[in-house]
Amino acid sequence: MSISFALGAVRPPDQMPDRLACNWMLISAALAVGFHCFHLPVWLSGFAACILLWRFFIENHAWRVPPRWVRWFLLLLTALLVSKQYGTLLGRDPGVAYLTLLVSLKILEIRSCRDYLLAVFLIYLLLLGALLFSQSLLTGLYMGLLIVLTTHTLILLNRPQPLTYRQSLRLGLTLCLQALPLLLIIYLLFPRIQGSLWGLPQDAFSARSGMSEQVSPGSINRLYNDDSIAFRVTFAGERPPQHDLYWRAFVLSDTDGRAWQRHQGTGDGRTNWRYRAKTPAVGYTVLLQPHQQRWLPALDLPAPLQRNVRMIEGYALAAVTPVHYVRRYHLTSHLRYTTGPLSANETAHNIHWPIKPSERITSLLQEWHQTTSSPAEIVRQALRFFNKQPFYYSLTPPLLYGDALDTFIFDTRIGYCEHYASAFVALMRLSGIPARLVVGYQGGEWNAAGDYMIVRQSDAHAWAEVWLQGEGWARIDPTAAVAPERIELGASALRQLSAQGATIGQLSISDAKRLISPSWLRHAWQHLSWRWDAINSGWNVWVMDYGREAQFQLLKKIGMETPNWLSAVIAMIAAIIFSLLLLSALWMHRRKKQDPVVKLYNKFCNKLAKAGLARAPTEGPLDFSRRSIQERADLRDPVLRITAEYIELRYGYFSSTRLNHFRQRVTAFRIP
């Protein structure tokens, strides 16, 4: 009798998988391709779907596999189409697009068991490519589901005996769960080595970046419908009031009269970074979503910095490298402060206005200067002008033509935050007061379920800073003079008020709050969304933000005083060996304790023992059966059949059907 090890039983090379296995392979491929439909061209997704559908008819409706020349033609055609679409076959987008088509074409040409297995492993590779586009919690859950499904397909393709899809799905889930400890060890301890070896193609970071470092009328307005999260903030102590939450991203002081950008000059054009705090520091932790740029939002004004963070012009913060991944950093800020004096070059740069003012603008400024020459009083005059004149805050402002400043101040008078901030800075500069534009975020949404602040792209905001003697750079937000609801209630409240037909800036804060008070259903939905976001925040903290520093902290906690990449490798290998030994011991103990085949055979041996045929501890099943037959020849047939079935089930071909048959035979065994 030939005995094969049960785990080594696979489908013979000449035996093709059944239709069930083939259909599940097509389902796995379709779901893997379906994920990429969100970032692939429509024609490419449709092309891949048609090829998979072609294979479905081959398997289920006896269509013929296309000849070799057709397959070669399709291969060359896809290469040409992808190259035409992207201009190259290299990079993330063209690479994943071409891989998607190659997986579909490989499934189309399947003729052997080897082709089936290769197609499944290509599906695994396609799943891995999905992580180049998104590493969110939803993507992780979707990928985990598809890995289980693809493993279940692999089992159906390999097992020689027939299995139901439920049995193989349960086995696939079991295998994936058993792999989780090793996956966790490798994730935690595999060295986080930075360098070209781990580099990704440039287009791997081509996701939407949100706010840009150049502002013109309408550039921030385009974000007001974008509810994607820019960053989350956890405060170490008491949360500051809403109107003090100004998150500085970058400062713009160069302008052509219409658009604003960061200062590109040299010399002493950067602000003196020293300042004197008037209030205690506020401590907080920012969890920043990737935006492909270097700026780091910080609450006005940031105090001493941590490593890999530098301060640039205007007390703004910047990372050493672009923020391609979720980044967490800790800061302290002072909400009230006094900055230092300006140099002559800084003063000249921040009062420069490149366009000659119109007559109406000149008359307005002369009117202000006739009543006072104090810069602080001129600032108050400008704020009163915006507050008393019929200016309106609108989420859909009209386009500005000709002289943008003159048109906005005297004609349209309808604008978004960047309209008011840039107009205010222009008026201050024309009045001889140093001023600049600050861009960042204002406010945020408090997540009561997670005790942290959510700042969305729609919270993007622009405000002004003027330099006043004795105060230094002072924050002035002209939007607050026109629409205080924006500062007190946030950007989302403005959208709700606008949707209800309310005129922004014409309501008291209490009336505005009453109008946007949520119903019980919306309130319940809001709490659910907060809890889901708290889960996503935990995913970002413990998974996406797990880098080299976090790994070294973990190694220190387990006893390594000076962790490095070598100690991480040693710890990983030791943990893998230990976990494998532990899992093996548990598996053997469970198999010995719970193996139903062994239990049934022991039941058979107990029946023989009652008849005086006790099995010795060192006696194997074949030796025991031969001795039993010698002593009781009348039991020859049942003893040989039960022993043969036990050996086959224990060491060879196992199936639930055979186990049930073996159980019936042992139960029916009687000794006269």
How many Å apart are CA 467 and CA 344, to the nearest integer?
13
184 and 269 share one domain: no
Helix axis angle for 520-539 and 137-158, nearest 10°, is 70
**Single-letter code of the amino acid located at 40:** L
How far apart (Å, rounded) are the C-alpha atoms in residues 192 and 79? 35
Task: Tell me what pLDDT residue 536 has.
Answer: 85
Q: Is 6 a residue whose pLDDT tops 50?
A: no
Enter the tokens of residue 183. Answer: 């996956």
Q: Is residue 531 part of a domain?
A: no
Spatial CB neighbours of 529, under 8 Å, sequence gap ≥ 6:
none
Exposure string for 461-484, b = 16+ CB within 10 A, e = fewer: bbbbbbbbeeebbbbbbbbbbbbb
Region 586-599: what's the mean pLDDT?
73
Does residue 545 lie in a domain region?
Answer: no
Together in a domain, 164 and 40: yes
- pLDDT of 270: 44
What is the predicted pLDDT for the residue at 235? 95
Same domain assignment for residues 129 and 224: no
Please, where are the H alpha helices in 61-136? 68-86, 92-108, 113-130
Q: Which range in 172-181, 416-425, 523-532 is most confidently predicted, on average pLDDT?
A: 416-425
pLDDT over 70 (residue 185): yes
Residues 219 and 114 in one domain: no
Highest averaged pLDDT of the listed ranges 11-15, 496-500, 528-532 = 528-532
Do 438 and 492 share a domain, yes or no? yes
What lies within 8 Å, CB to CB, of 294 at 6+ separation is: 318, 319, 320, 321, 322, 323
DSSP structural state of residue 234? E
pLDDT tens, position by position, 126-150 = 988 888 888 788 888 889 899 999 9
Higher pLDDT, 561 or 277: 277
Question: What would the mean pLDDT of 195-215 be, rounded to a whole number?
Answer: 57
pLDDT tens digits for range 388-411: 999 988 877 888 888 889 999 999
Clarify whether residues 414 and 512 are in a common domain.
yes
* Tokens encoding 165: 């899809």
Question: What does the chain come to in residues?
Answer: 672
Is 197 among the domain residues?
Answer: no
Domain identity same for 148 and 263: no
Instruction: DSSP for 321-344, please give it.
Output: S---S-EEEEEEE-SSEEE-PPPH
The widest CA-to-CA distance across the chain, in whole angstroms, is 128
Q: Do 221 and 319 sit in the same domain of this protein?
A: yes
pTM here is 0.75
Q: How many C-beta atoms surround the C-beta of residue 547 within 10 A? A: 14
Q: Which residue type, as a one-letter code, is found at position 180?
A: L
Cβ 150 vs Cβ 2: under 8 Å: no
Tally the C-alpha atoms within 13 A of residue 242's C-alpha that lie toward its C-beta: 18
Mean of all residue pLDDT scores within the chain: 83
Q: What is the CA radius of gyration of the chain?
A: 36
Same domain, 462 and 391: yes
Tokens of 504: 């922004």
Last residue of a domain, one of 561, 592, 623: 592
Listing DSSP states for 202-259 in one string gives GGGG-S---S-SEE-TTTTGGGTT--SEEEEEEESSSPPPGGG-EEEEEEE-EESSS-
For residue 620, being part of any structural domain is answered with yes
Q: Count of domains in the chain?
A: 4
Residue 264: both structure tokens together:
């590109």
Mean per-residue pLDDT, 234-249: 92
Please compute the mean of the pLDDT values over residues 105-119 and round it to a whole number: 86
pLDDT category, 234, cuts 50, 70, 90? very high
Q: What is the pLDDT of residues 444-459, one digit of tens each?
A: 999 988 899 999 998 9
230, part of any domain: yes
More confident residue, 177 or 563: 177
Task: Give the C-alpha separation, 291 to 312, whole Å.
Answer: 18
Report the 3 state secondary structure along 424-460.
Answer: HHHHHHHCCCCEEEEEEEECCEEECCCCEEEEEHHHE
**Confidence at residue 201, expressed as pLDDT on a 0 to 100 scale:** 57
Which pLDDT score, from 0 to 100, does residue 594 have?
A: 61
pLDDT in tens, 61-93: 878 888 888 888 988 988 898 888 888 888 888
Please say which residue of 521, 537, 562 terminates a domain.
521
Give the residue from 472, 500, 521 where a domain finishes.
521
- For residues 663 and 655, give the distance between their C-alpha atoms in angstroms, rounded to a whole number: 12
153, 283: one domain = no
Pull the structure tokens for residue 620: 């194997």
Please name the residue that has the structure tokens 């889960």.
535
Same domain, 71 and 220: no
pLDDT of the residue at 427: 95
Whether the CA torsion 524, 528, 534, 537 is positive or negative: it is negative
370 HSE (CA, 13 A, CB side):
6
Q: In 3-state terms, what secondary structure has residue 215?
A: strand
Range with top average pLDDT, 243-257, 258-272, 556-570: 243-257
- Asked whether residue 205 is domain-assigned, the answer is no
pLDDT tens digits for range 344-391: 988 999 999 999 999 999 999 999 998 888 999 999 999 999 999 999
- Is the preceding omega at residue 301 within 30 degrees of 0, hence cis? yes
Note down the domain range covering 299: 214-521
Q: pLDDT band for 4, please (50, 70, 90 cuts).
A: very low
Of the ranges 55-69, 187-201, 214-228, 231-245, which is most confident?
231-245
Q: Calculate mean pLDDT across residues 654-659.
A: 78
Does the residue 663 lie in any domain?
A: yes
Please indicate, yes or no, if residue 526 is contained in any of the structural domains.
Answer: no
Place of tokens 């009652």: 610
287-330 residue pLDDT tens: 998 888 889 999 988 886 767 788 888 889 988 888 888 888 89
**Stronger pLDDT, 613 or 564, i.e. the higher one:** 613
What is the full DSSP assignment across 345-402? HHHHHHT--SSPPPHHHHHHHHHHHHH---HHHHHHHHHHHHHHS--EE-SSPPPP-S
Instruction: Kindly state whether residues 129 and 268 are assigned to the same domain.
Output: no
Is the torsion defined by CA of 305, 306, 310, 312 positive or negative?
Answer: negative
The percentage of the chain sitting over the pLDDT mark of 70, rounded to a whole number, equals: 91
Q: How confident is the model at residue 157 (pLDDT cuts 50, 70, 90)?
A: confident
**What mean pLDDT is predicted for residues 258-263?**
86
Per DSSP, what are the bridge partners of residue 287?
A: 232, 328
Is 90 exceeded by the pLDDT of residue 343?
Answer: no
* Whether residue 672 has pLDDT greater than 50: yes
Amino acid in position 15? Q
